[in-house]
Each structure stands twice: as C-alpha cells, then as structure tokens.
C-alpha cells in the first residue's frame, strides 16, 4: 500500500534535483507505526515501503534512518516525512545555525529553518531533528540534508522545495561565505 504515492512524490523530488541516486527516504504514519522506504531504494522508482512499529521494531529492509522518523512521529502529529539531500540546503547548512529565507515563499512557510547536528543514523541526530521539527515543519541536518513533516508526502515535498529555493536565492545573492566547521 502507499507505493504509488511514494513513487509520485519520489519522481517529483528527483525532477527538481532535491535528491540523487538512491539517497533520501520517505514515510507515512499508519495505525501502530509507519511505512518507510526500503534501505537503498531509489525514491523515483516503484518500491514497496517497509513497516516500522511504534515500539521501534523495523521490518527487515527498512531505511536505516527509521530512527529519525520514529522519534519524530513520537513527538509531533506529522502524518508523513520526507528526508532528502538538496545541494543548496546542504551547502548552506555549513555556514548558518539557522537559515532565514529572504524570498516571499520562504518567509511565509518556513521563516526560520533550524540547522541541527548529528551523525547519519545516530540517536543524537534523531533527537535533534525531532526536537527541531516541533518548532519548524522543516529542518536541515548539517552536511547531510533536509527533514520535512506534514499531513502528506506532498506537503513534505513542497516544504523541501521551498527550503531549497530559499537557499538557492540566498546563494545567488552573494554566496554562503565558506565552510564553518
């Protein structure tokens, strides 16, 4: 179930350059847990999502980033989540502790985008992302990518697109100012 919805949004994410290769993952909340894309799957291809229970027990093949999704579903009322690696957002995350969009849509839908830390797949990242998502519907994990929550995958995708657009505008207006590591 949901596989068609995952594929439609996955193709949109690809066509805008928000993710490449077999990176990123998406999930939809379901009674007793959530369905998440399989580990290593290509978001723009048709694949069967994998169930993870609310108690944190993933079925075989679930994306290793299920910890972030699990923690976020615990702490928010999100119905869906999308995590991808948009290049301008990732690059911006090295220079800012929070991104303040300058464009109209960014100001309207995510006026202050938190940038959080944590190794991919770690509990620290899960905690930091979930915590930030209680304050903003979309956050950037430094050096890694965006995490967006919403009612549906479509809403998450739109938020992700807004963040990348906002970061692109900031970049074209004068750059990010180099790495801050």
Which residues of the chain form contacts with a copy of itself (CB under 8 A)?
12, 14-16, 20-23, 85, 87-88, 90-92, 94-95, 102-105, 107-108, 119-120, 141, 143-145, 157-158, 161-162, 164-165, 168-169, 171-179, 181
Q: Quick one: CA dihedral 5, 72, 146, 100, positive or negative? A: positive
Query: In the bound complex, what is the minimum distance in angstroms from residue 131's beta carbon to a copy of itself?
Result: 19
Query: Distance between CA atoms of 176 and 164, rounded to whole angstroms?
Result: 13
**CB of 73 vs a copy of itself, minimal distance in Å:** 23
Toward a copy of itself, which CB reaches closer, 32 or 177?
A: 177
Tokens of 14: 């690809």
Least Å distance, CB 102 to a copy of itself, is: 6
Say if residues 84 and 150 touch (Cβ distance below 8 Å): no
Nearer to a copy of itself, 75 or 107 (CB): 107
Q: Which is nearer to a copy of itself, 76 or 122 (CB)?
A: 122
Q: Which is nearer to a copy of itself, 90 or 99 (CB)?
A: 90
Nearest approach in angstroms of CB 180 to a copy of itself is 9
Rounded CA-CA distance 105/111 in Å is 9
CB distance 93 to 132 below 8 Å: no
Closest approach, Cβ 166 to a copy of itself, in A, equals 10
Closest by CA to 11, choosing from 36, 39, 46, 37, is: 46
Question: Of 23 and 51, which has the nearer Cβ to a copy of itself?
Answer: 23
Using DSSP, state whether 77 is helix, strand or coil: coil
Least separation in angstroms between CB 41 and a copy of itself:
12
HSE toward the beta carbon, residue 35, CA cutoff 13 A: 14
| Cα 86 from Cα 73, distance rounded (Å) | 23
Among residues 16 and 54, whose Cβ is nearest to a copy of itself?
16
Three-state secondary structure call for residue 80: strand
């Amino acid at each position: 179930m949901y596989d068609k919805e995952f594929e439609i949004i996955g193709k949109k994410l690809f066509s805008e350059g928000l993710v490449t290769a077999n990176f990123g993952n998406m999930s939809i909340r379901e009674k007793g847990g959530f369905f998440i894309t399989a580990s290593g799957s290509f978001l723009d291809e048709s694949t069967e999502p994998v169930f993870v229970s609310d108690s944190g027990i993933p079925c075989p093949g679930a994306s290793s980033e299920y910890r972030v999704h699990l923690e976020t579903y615990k702490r928010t009322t999100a119905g869906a989540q999308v995590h991808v690696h948009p290049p301008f957002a990732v690059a911006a995350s090295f220079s800012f502790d929070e991104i303040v969009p300058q464009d109209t849509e960014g100001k309207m839908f995510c006026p202050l985008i938190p940038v959080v830390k944590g190794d991919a797949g770690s509990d620290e990242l899960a905690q930091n992302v979930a915590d930030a998502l209680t304050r903003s519907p979309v956050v950037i994990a430094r050096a890694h990518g965006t995490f967006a929550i919403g009612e549906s995958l479509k809403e998450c995708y739109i938020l992700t697109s807004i963040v990348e657009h906002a970061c692109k505008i900031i970049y074209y207006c004068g750059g990010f100012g180099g790495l801050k590591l």
